[in-house]
Amino acid sequence: MAVLLSLCAALAYGLSDFVGGVASRRVSPWTIALMSQVGGTLAALVLGLVVGGDPTASDWGWAVLAGVGNGVGTAFLYRGLAAGRMGVVAPVSGVGAALVPLVVGLAAGERPGVVAWLGITAALPAIWLVAREPASAEGSEGAVRAPSAAGLVDGVLAGAGFGVLFAGLGQIPEESGFLPLAFNGAVGAVVVAVVAAALRQPWVPREPTAAVGLVSGALGGTATGLFLVATQTGYLTVAAVITSLYPAFTVLLAALLLRERVHRAQAVGLALCAVAVGLIAAS
């Protein structure tokens, strides 16, 4: 069940990023980032009020930490997007988002089986290959350029942020309900706004198209909720790695709906994603 929930979370995250990415072509990506946080918060709040729960002070604390990670990850991911460094930021952040909770889960005593480890081993290069945009590494004359230091910094910070988000949410028990998830989104929205303002980027919603960010956020909030339940029914290490395969769904959606080309490396990555999920599920 944890594997299935994590896979559904990856699908929802991939769809969220696809919707947000399309909207970011028309509106400031910082605005979309903020609106997506708001949309996710509203979705989690409604779910939390309906389902109920009894969160403790510790659960609220983990929600705050996860929210800071959420906001930092989103802010630096979108800074990379706005600066055209997505080909570096996306793969680095994707691998980082998987590694941080993997380390936390192992430190907490989780011990996946040998077959699951084979799946995890396949998943990390799969995330890198799928998320990487080969064209971004070429110059105007086709010469391969080294990744920029700024792109690597954005990717590391985004990956660390999302890793903290996953690791923090993994500490919240089932009886807490979904209200801490809503608080996590609210904290994330504040962090995005603060970082955008500090960098003097336009983040205040001023155009009707910005409302699309709410849809992206609702999908993202659904994904985060699925991930939260997955960690409550299985290993954080497994849930985080499978959920971090979400770039595969974004690539597939772009190929199917926008007719974007799937590069050879991405095709290899997609195949590795399928192998990783199969191995982890078989374990």
Q: Among 40-44, 99-103, 140-144, which is the least confidently predicted range?
A: 140-144
Residue 86 reports pLDDT greater than 80: no
pLDDT confidence of residue 225: 92
Distance CA 172, CA 55 (A): 8
Residue 70 reports pLDDT greater than 60: yes
Residue 166 reports pLDDT greater than 60: yes
Residue 138 reports pLDDT greater than 60: no
Mean pLDDT in residue range 269-274: 91
Beta-strand runs (E) in the chain: none
Number of residues in the chain: 283
Residue 158 reports pLDDT greater than 90: no
Residue 168 reports pLDDT greater than 60: yes
Residue 147: what are its φ and ψ, rounded to 5°? -60, 140
Check: CB of residue 19 under 8 Å from CB of residue 221: no
pLDDT confidence of residue 135: 55
User: Residue 159, class by beta-carbon neighbours within 10 Å (0-12 exposed, 13-18 middle, 19+ buried)?
Assistant: buried
pLDDT confidence of residue 136: 46
